Structure formats: C-alpha cells, structure tokens
Chain A
C-alpha cells in the first residue's frame, strides 16, 4: 500500500532530520546540567521536559537519534558489504563445497542468539558504539547472504544470464553486472527492515550499558536512567520509548510500502 510508504517515510524522515539538525542546532546543549530545573514535565521552555540532571530531553533525543541511526546504518552497511558478495559468490558456485561452506557458516551465525553474542563482544572488548556496531553488523551478514543467494539462484536459471555466459562473461562479471542490479530492490527492502532491527538492538545494548558511553546520549541509556525514576518522572521513560517505537514503526512501514511499491510479486520472508 502506498499509504504505508508515505506514513513510514514521513516518520523515518522526521527522525533523520532531527538527527541532522542536531549537528547544527539543538534547543539546549544536550549535556548542559541545570539542577534547578530537574525533572520538569514538558512545558513551554522544555518541550519534552528535563531529566534528573535538568538536561533538556528534546535535545538529548535529537542527539540520541544520531547515535541510533549511525549505529544501525553502519551495521546494515557491514551486513550488506560482506553478506551480498558472499551470497552472490555462493549462488555462482551453486552446489559446490564453497556454496555449502558459506551457507553452513551462515547457519552457524544464526544459531548464536544474537543478543548473547552482542553482549559477549561488547563486554569482552569493551562497551562502546563501535563494538555495538560490530556486534549488530555480524548478524546482518547471514541475513543478506541468504536472501542474495536465494534471489540470485533463480536469476542464474534465466535466459539473459545464459546469454551472458554464451557471450563469454565470467561468473564474477555476471554476478556484478547482471545479478546484482536485479536483486537491488530486494536488498533495499531488507535493508530497511534490518535498519529498524538495528535501532532496537542498539537501544537494548545501551540500555544494559554496553552501547554508546556517556557523554554520548543514546535512547537506550536514557531509558536506563529513567528506570529508577519512572514513578516520579514517567516522561523520562515515555519520551525515549516513543522515539524508538515511532522510528522502528516508521522504518517497518516504509519497508512494507517499498516492497509493495517496488515489486508487488516480491514476498520477502518478514518474520
């Protein structure tokens, strides 16, 4: 439905814009303490209220959007950058030991509960945005490898590929010149979905203290701060919570909308 695409696009755009604007302007300094004005509920001066240190929540949300988007975007980049070539390679060598190796490797990564390994990586190599990115990124690799391979396999049986082979093109050239452009739509849709999952994962990791470290604001840590104060200042939990929900919802709707828009026949396994 085109409506999904529009609603999702607008929601996502709002948060991307908030993140971009935060580079040049925020209502207040996101790290400025103002104890006199702590725990204020939303009002005319602080549109979304202040936290237990008197920091402006709107400013923190805007800068936090930057963290969430950056982590999720790079994690999707890692997943695509490694997963797509692996998927193309496996499809080009379909049925050989190489294909088998790549796919079994994928299964293995899938078998690790992603959260557990993310916690393991960040805990052992230190908490921080970079390790969070790597942890989330690793689990995007098999996702992209699998859908790329699946789509590429059916393309390899098509006649235009046969024509390219007859023309003497190598498997590598065919993969890049003919297969890749034909799986791009699929990758865009899956990329949107993984992007939203990345935002949720980043929030979870920084909630348990393994994501971006202070003073970098992040939505997950804002929620961790809010937890002990939830009965006194519910807005501290509500605002970052809604920020996460709306962003993820927006991206998911956009993914659904894009899928229908780009190819009505396309059915990505969305579970």
Chain B
C-alpha cells in the first residue's frame, strides 16, 4: 500500500505541475495586455511601464511562473489587477457560495439516486425499473440551466416559494442561505442524479448475480435482507468513485448555474475577471478547480486501493 501511495503521489505532483504550466501558458498567449487594458488606449508609455512593473508583468515569463506557483504553495495567489485586493480573499469569498452549492447538490443527487437505483435494480425488467430508467434517460438529456429556468418559473415566479436569484449571505443564518441555494442545487443535482442512479442500478445488478448473494439467500435471508446486508455494501465501491468524480463536475457546473441565479460564486468571478482581463484571477480560479479535481481523483484512487488490494499491483 505504501509503494502504491508513493507512486500515485508522484503522479499527482507531476499532473499538478503540468496542469499549472498549461494554464499559465494558455493565459500567457492570450491576446491583450492587462496593463494597457486597465489604462485605456491613450495611456502614456511611462505610465504603462510603471504599471507593468507594479503588476510584475515586466519580469521574464519563467520567473513570473515560478513566482505564481511559489505564491500559491504558500497560500498567496497574488493581487487582482482590477480590484487590487488579494486574489485569495476574492476566491475564498466566492468559495463560500460555490462550495456549499456543490456539496448541497452532491447530497441531493445522492439522496435521489440511491433509492432510485436500488428500487430499479430490485425490480429489474418490471414496470418500476423501466420507469426509473426512462426518467434517467430524460434526466441526462435535460440541460441543467434550462431546468433551472423552469424551476424559477414554477417555484419562484408562480408559487413564490423561493427567490428567483441572488444570495442573501450566510450572515442571515444557515436556513436563509440554504433556502437561497435550494433551487440552484436542485438544478445542478438532477443530471448528476440520473447518471448516479444508472451506475447504482448496474453496479447492484452485477453484485446480485454473484455467488455470495445466492449463498445469502440459501442460508435463509429474504431477497430484501440479502440486498441490504450483502448486496449494497459491495455495490457501493464503483458508486463512490462516481460520487468523487461528480464533486468536481458539480463545482465546475455551478459556473453556468450561477449565471442563471445571479449567484456571487466562482463562476461569476471567472466571467467578470475574463471581461476585465484580470488574468491572475482567472488563472488562479482555474488552477484551484483543476487542483480539486486531481486531488479528489487521487483520494478516490487511494480509498479504492485501501478497499480492494487487487488494485494496488495495477498502476
């Protein structure tokens, strides 16, 4: 296990290093100089040079890359070009919206998918199974931002149960915050729940065909008991992997959903920063998202190997 962990750890670091280089390079070749963008077309060359020096844009690219990465390692993401505030503060403010939203959606998606998947698997080939599978086909096909608009139309505009958009802030209390995030979380969770339910069903069906399930029935357990005691636990491994992967999808997916609900999250930050050529913010948010995906995948791999020793020998 130690060998495997070290091996995976090395590949984790290589992935992160390559990812940071790619992101830096992409931003570098982007047309448009932040300094001239901030000062406008008629800026004096001296002012421009002074600002470039102040923003640290006049040093060689390699050095700038190293400063950026080194800063991130010590928790300093640099200073925003437009707002002149530490990028770290801007990101952490927004994370307080995006992260709870992603987690909320993850909980909803799991809560929806587990019963649906188990129900469908236990009624394989019957009307209930076909119904659930049909619903998941539909769930996968619905664009989440459109679904979000429909939720707003029904629950915010017609029924007035929720606000149509905006975020009250957590200082108004946990309940008010969760209430404001409910519609976005539902919109975000639906397609993921459909995928998860399908995985849950097929994974459970695989397990139900195993010999030990027959043994469980043979020793006198009812189908239901066997399913809950032996089937579910074994079926969960692939499902947990998908849940791990979904977290990053949800975090990234919230970018579009935030646009629908005018939520002040990471997505809004990225769009604002892109239009203001505030590249250091864009760079940092993208790196943060990629970092979270790579790290979550790494943790899932480790958890998987801890549960299933056969995987350790494979790389």
Question: Which stretch (A27-35, A55-63, A149-157, A224-232) binds chain B?
Answer: A224-232
State whether B143 touches A111 (Cβ < 8 A): no
Contact A231:B255 (CB < 8 A) given known A200-B143, A271-B242: no
* Cβ of B146 under 8 Å from chain A: yes
**Cross-chain contact A113 with B157 (CB below 8 angstroms):** no
Chain B proximity mask over A249-268: 1 for CB below 8 Å, otherwise 0 = 10011000000000000000
Q: Is the Cβ of A204 less than 8 Å from the Cβ of B143?
A: yes
B246 nearest in chain A by CB position = A271
Query: Quick check: B137 and A253 within 8 Å, CB to CB?
Result: yes
Task: Please give me the 7 A-B residue pairs with the lowest Cβ-Cβ distance, nearest first.
Answer: A113-B252, A248-B141, A124-B30, A249-B141, A123-B274, A241-B146, A231-B157
Whether A231 and B153, one on each chain, are in contact in the complex, defined by CB atoms closer than 8 angstroms, is yes
Q: Is the CB of B274 within 8 A of A204?
A: no
- Closest chain-B Cβ to A217's Cβ sits at a distance in Å of 16
A176 CA to B163 CA in the complex, in Å? 58
Decide yes or no whether A65 CB sits under 8 A from chain B: no
Query: With a CB–CB cut-off of 8 A, which chain A residues contact B271?
Result: 119, 123, 208
16 additional contacts (CB under 8 A) given A111-B290, A116-B252, A271-B199:
A112-B290, A115-B253, A115-B256, A116-B270, A116-B289, A120-B274, A123-B275, A124-B27, A125-B31, A223-B145, A230-B153, A241-B143, A245-B141, A245-B143, A249-B137, A271-B198
Smallest CB–CB gap between A218 and chain B, Å?
A: 13
B167 interface residue per 8 A CB criterion: no
CB distance from A101 to the nearest CB of B (A): 11
B140 CB–A CB distance under 8 Å: yes
Proximity string of chain B (248-278) to chain A, C-beta cutoff 8 Å, 1 when within and 0 when not: 1101110110011000000000110011000
Complex Cα spacing A125 to B26, Å = 10
Give complex CA distance A237, B297 in Å: 37
Please give me the residue from chain B that is nearest to A244 by CB atom: B143
Please determine whether B141 and A223 come into contact, CB atoms closer than 8 angstroms. Answer: no
Pairs A–B under 8 Å by Cβ, sample size 9 = A113-B249, A113-B252, A115-B256, A119-B270, A123-B271, A223-B146, A230-B149, A249-B141, A271-B198
**A270-B198 CB under 8 A given contacts A124-B27, A223-B145:** yes
What A residues does B275 contact at CB under 8 A?
123
Considering only residues 97-117 of chain A, those with a C-beta below 8 Å from chain B are 104, 107-108, 111-117
Residues of B near any A CB (own CB < 8 A): 11, 14-15, 18-19, 22, 26-27, 30-31, 137-138, 140-143, 145-146, 149-150, 152-153, 157, 195, 198-199, 242, 248-249, 251-253, 255-256, 259-260, 270-271, 274-275, 282, 286, 289-290, 293-294, 297
A203 within 8 A of B: yes
Q: Which of A115, A227, A244 contacts B260, CB < 8 Å?
A: A227
How close is A212's CB to chain B, nearest CB, in angstroms? 16
Instruction: Give the CA-CA distance A270 to B251 in the complex, in Å.
Output: 22
B153 to A, closest residue via Cβ = A230
**Which of A104, A120, A124 lies in contact with B11, CB distance below 8 A?**
A104
A196 at the interface (CB under 8 A from B): yes
Which of A231, A237, A249 touches B146 (beta carbons < 8 Å)?
A237
Candidate in A226, A240, A241 with the most chain B CB atoms within 10 angstroms:
A241
- Whether A249 touches B26, Cβ cut-off 8 Å, given contacts A113-B248, A203-B143, is no
A208 in contact with B259 given A111-B15, A113-B248 (CB within 8 Å): yes
Chain A min CB distance to B200 (Å): 11
User: Which residues of B lie under 8 Å from residue A123 when comparing CB positions?
Assistant: 271, 274-275, 282
Binary flags per residue of A193-209, CB closer than 8 Å to B gives 1, else 0: 00010001001100110
Question: Which B residues touch A124, using CB under 8 A?
Answer: 26-27, 30-31, 274
A124 to B195: give the CA distance in the assembly, Å: 32
**In the complex, A120→B27 CA distance in Å?**
9
Using a CB-CB cutoff of 8 Å, which residues 37-66 of chain A contact chain B? Answer: none
CB-CB under 8 A from A114, the residues of chain B are 252
Partner of B150, one of A108, A113, A241: A241
| B141 touching A107, Cβ below 8 Å | no
Q: In whole angstroms, what is the CA distance A145 to B14 when docked? A: 21
Question: Of A111, A113, A125, A237, which is in contact with the most chain B CB atoms at under 10 Å from its CB?
Answer: A111
**Inside 8 A of A234's CB, which chain B residues have their CB?**
153
Please state if B282 and A223 are interface contacts (CB–CB under 8 Å).
no
Contact A207 B248 (CB under 8 A): no
Chain B residues near A240: list those with CB within 8 A: 146
Q: Is the CB of B157 within 8 A of A230?
A: yes
Chain B residues with CB below 8 A from A227, complex form: 149, 260
Cα–Cα distance between A105 and B145 once the two chains are bound (Å): 31
Q: Complex formed: what's the CA distance from A46 to B153 in Å?
A: 24
Contact partner of A113 (CB less than 8 A), chosen from B27, B31, B290, is B290
Residues in chain A near residue B248, CB distance under 8 A: 113
Contact A125 B141 (CB under 8 A): no
A119 contact set on B, CB distance < 8 A: 255, 270-271, 274
Within 8 Å CB of A252, what residues of B?
137, 140-141
Least CB distance from B165 to A in Å reads 10
Q: Which residues of B contact A249 (CB under 8 A)?
A: 137-138, 141
User: How long is the Cα–Cα vector from A203 to B198 in the complex, in angstroms?
Assistant: 24
Partner of B138, one of A113, A223, A245: A245
- B19 to A108, Cβ gap below 8 A? yes
A113 and B19 CA atoms in complex are apart in Å by 12
